[in-house]
A = this chain, B = another copy of it.
């Protein structure tokens, strides 16, 4: 759709990233072709190789950059907070906020993991585990402090992450629910459940 014809230099790489994110999100990594991508960007397929080494590398870059940003931003979001309950609230706020801001990256980062090969996959999985560990640690701390019910922390973390990450698949920013309300709803659900 958006076709930056004749884009040159650094702008081209940016155009490749943007178009790549959108196309892969929409059709999946295996389903898209470098021809499609080139057309979207406004260059010939062969020219793509001035910017990327391979289709696989493009996927890796997109996911890795997203994971790097996620790690950096979550650190900022939790900065200074010590109380487990406070940290959990902040974690939820950050995660939801990030996931509706960068829907494409997040979605791809989950669904296209299986298309990553060898070391690429290993590297990303390590970063994911690190991120998950943050939540597990919060839960453990909260349980130790007697604030949270005693459960299996990793499993509870997975359940929570599944719920929080889900927003990137169905949340519509133009819909009737605003970001703030969405965050509250998730904080309430996770902290207190549905019961009155």
Contact = CB atoms under 8 A, between A and B. Distances in A.
A117 to B, nearest CB: 11
A163 B169 CA distance: 13
Interface residues of A, number: 45
Interface of A: 26-28, 30-31, 85, 88, 111, 114-115, 139, 142, 146-149, 151-152, 155-156, 158-163, 165-167, 169-170, 177, 181-182, 185-186, 188-196
> Chain copies in the assembly?
4
Given A156-B185, A190-B194, A191-B193, 13 more contacts: A26-B114, A88-B194, A146-B196, A149-B195, A152-B177, A156-B189, A159-B185, A162-B170, A166-B166, A188-B193, A189-B190, A191-B194, A191-B195
B114 A28 contact: yes
A148 B30 contact: no
